[in-house]
Amino acid sequence: MNAAGVAMLIAALVVGTASAAESTDAWDGAATGRSALLPAAGTSTVRASPRHARSSPAARAPSSTSATPAPASRAPKPAADTQVDVRILSKHRPARLRLDGPRSLEVVASGNTLIVDGRPQPHALRLDAGRWHVRGRGLDRRYEAALSLEARDGELLVVATFELETYVAAVTASETEVDTPFEALRAQAITARSYVLASGKRHDEARACDLTHCQVLRGEGFARHLRRARDAARSTEGIVLRLPGGDIALSPFHASCGGHTAEPVAVFGAPDRTGAAAVPDRCPASPWRAVVPRALVTAAATDALGGPAQAADLLLDRDSSGAVVRVVDRASGRDARGDAFFRALGSRAGWDRIRSAKFSMTLGGDQALLEGQGHGHGVGLCQAGAALLARQGWTAEQLLAHYFPHALPGKLQDK
Q: Which residues bind Zn ion (CB under 5 A)?
A: 209, 213-214, 257, 281, 283, 382, 385
241 or 382: CB nearest Zn ion? 382
The kind and range of the H/E element at 277 are none
Whichever of 206 and 370 has its CB closer to Zn ion, that residue is: 206
d(CA 212, CA 272) in angstroms, rounded, equals 21
Beta strands in 137-259 (DSSP E): 139-152, 155-163, 208-209, 239-242, 253-254
If the CB atoms of residues 85 and 281 are measured against Zn ion, the closer one turns out to be: 281
For residues 341 and 377, give the distance between their C-alpha atoms in angstroms, rounded to a whole number.
12
Nearest residue (CB) to Zn ion, 81 versus 335: 81
* Spatial distance between the Cα atoms of 342 and 65, rounded to a whole number of angstroms: 9
Q: Which residue type, as a one-letter code, is found at position 38?
A: L
Q: Which amino acid type is present at position 382?
A: C
Least CB distance from residue 259 to Zn ion, whole Å? 6
State the DSSP code for 136.
E
If the CB atoms of residues 101 and 268 are measured against Zn ion, the closer one turns out to be 268
Q: How far is the CB of 116 from Zn ion (least distance, A)?
A: 27
Shortest distance (Å) from residue 5 CB to Zn ion: 31
Residue 62 vs 101, nearer CB to Zn ion: 62
CB of 46 to Zn ion, least distance (A): 12
Q: Is 114 helix (H, G, I), strand (E, B) or coil?
A: strand
User: Is the distance from CB of 173 to CB of 130 less than 8 angstroms?
Assistant: no
Strand segments (E) across 205-348: 208-209, 239-242, 253-254, 287-293, 314-318, 324-329, 335-337
Helix or strand holding residue 236 (H, E):
none
Q: Please, which residue, 99 or 185, has the CB nearer to Zn ion? A: 185
**From the CB of 39, what's the least distance to Zn ion, in Å?**
12
Alpha-carbon distance of 36 to 103, in angstroms, equals 34
Burial class (CB in 10 A: 0-12, 13-18, 19+), 342: buried
Q: Closest CB to Zn ion among 143 and 292?
A: 143
> Concatenated DSSP letters for 319-363?
-TTS-EEEEEETTT--EEEHHHHHHHHHHHH-TTTS-BS-EEEEE
Element at 225 (helix H, strand E)? helix 223-234
Euclidean distance between CA atoms 181 and 162, whole angstroms: 25
Q: At its nearest, how many Å lie between Zn ion and the CB of residue 358?
A: 11
From CA 9, how far away is CA 113, in angstroms rounded?
A: 55
Q: Find the shortest distance in angstroms from Cβ 191 to Zn ion.
A: 14
To Zn ion, the closest distance from the beta carbon of 231 in angstroms equals 24
Question: Of 300 and 386, which has the nearer Cβ to Zn ion?
Answer: 386
N- to C-terminal Cα separation, the chain: 56
> Does the bond joining 405 to the residue before it have cis omega, within 30 degrees of 0?
no
Min separation Cβ 203 and Zn ion, Å: 6
